[in-house]
Amino acid sequence: MIYLVRLLVRVIGIDPGTKSMDVCLLEDGRVKEEMVFNSVDVASRPELLVRAVERLSPYDLIVGPSGYGVEVTYIDEIPDDVFEKWYYTYVLLTSREEIEEGVSRGDVGSYVYYAMVKAVKEFKKRRLPVVFIPGIINLPTVPEFRKLNRVDLGTADKLAVTALAILTQSLRWKIPYHETSLILAELGFGYNAVVGVREGVILDAFGGTTIGGPGFLTMGCADLEVVQLIKSWAKRDVFTGGASYMSGCATPEELVECYHLRVECFNALNSMIEGVLKAIHALTYSVGIPKEVAYSGRLTKNQVIRERLVRDCRASEVLRGINVTAVGSLPGTSEVKETAQGYALIGDGLAGGVFRDLIQHMRIKDARGSAIDYIHHPRFRREDLVRFK
pLDDT value, residue 3: 43
**What does the pLDDT look like over 97-145, one tens digit per residue?**
999 888 888 887 888 888 899 899 999 999 999 999 999 999 999 999 9
Residue 385 clears pLDDT 70, i.e. is over it: no
**What does the pLDDT look like over 278-325, one tens digit per residue?**
999 999 999 999 999 999 999 999 999 999 999 999 999 999 889 999
With the C-alpha atoms ordered 58, 59, 65, 71, is the resulting torsion angle positive or negative? positive
Phi, psi of 21 (to 5 degrees): -105, 120
**What does the pLDDT look like over 344-378, one tens digit per residue?**
999 999 999 999 999 999 999 999 999 999 999 88
Mean pLDDT of all residues in 74-82 = 96
**What average pLDDT does the structure give for the chain?**
93
Residue 176 clears pLDDT 50, i.e. is over it: yes
Is 123 inside a domain boundary? yes
Q: Which residue type does 300 have?
A: T
Q: Domain range spanning residue 302?
A: 10-384
Task: Answer for the pair 244, 271: CB distance below 8 angstroms, yes or no.
Answer: no
pLDDT value, residue 203: 98
Return the CATH number at 173. Answer: 3.30.420.40
For β-strands 61-63 and 130-132, DSSP reports them as parallel
Is 2 inside a domain boundary? no
Mean pLDDT of all residues in 146-170 = 97
pLDDT value, residue 359: 98
Task: Give the largest CA-CA distance in the chain.
Answer: 77
Is 5 inside a domain boundary? no
Is 221 inside a domain boundary? yes
Residue 384 clears pLDDT 80, i.e. is over it: no
Q: pTM for this one?
A: 0.94
Residue 15 clears pLDDT 70, i.e. is over it: yes
Element at 84 (helix H, strand E) = helix 83-86
CA-CA distance, 303 to 307, in Å (whole number)?
A: 6
Nearest-10 Cα torsion for 252, 256, 262, 265: 50
Is 314 inside a domain boundary? yes
Please report which confidence band the pLDDT of residue 42 belongs to, taking 50, 70 and 90 as the band edges. Answer: confident
For β-strands 201-206 and 292-296, DSSP reports them as unpaired
Strand boundaries in the chain, DSSP class E: 10-16, 20-27, 30-38, 61-63, 73-74, 130-132, 181-187, 192-198, 201-206, 292-296, 323-326
Please report which confidence band the pLDDT of residue 7 belongs to, taking 50, 70 and 90 as the band edges. Answer: low
Please report which confidence band the pLDDT of residue 388 belongs to, taking 50, 70 and 90 as the band edges. Answer: low
CA-CA distance, 34 to 53, in Å (whole number)?
A: 11
Mean pLDDT of all residues in 197-224 = 95
7-17 in b/e burial notation, b at 16+ Cβ within 10 A?
eebbbbbbbbb
Residue 327 clears pLDDT 90, i.e. is over it: yes
Q: What percent of the chain has pLDDT over 90?
A: 79
Is 349 inside a domain boundary? yes
Number of structural domains found in the chain:
1
Half-sphere exposure at residue 62, Cβ-oriented, CA atoms within 13 angstroms: 27
Q: What percent of the chain has pLDDT over 70?
A: 96
Is 107 inside a domain boundary? yes
CA-CA distance, 382 to 389, in Å (whole number)?
A: 16
Is 365 inside a domain boundary? yes
pLDDT value, residue 4: 44
pLDDT value, residue 125: 94
pLDDT value, residue 383: 62
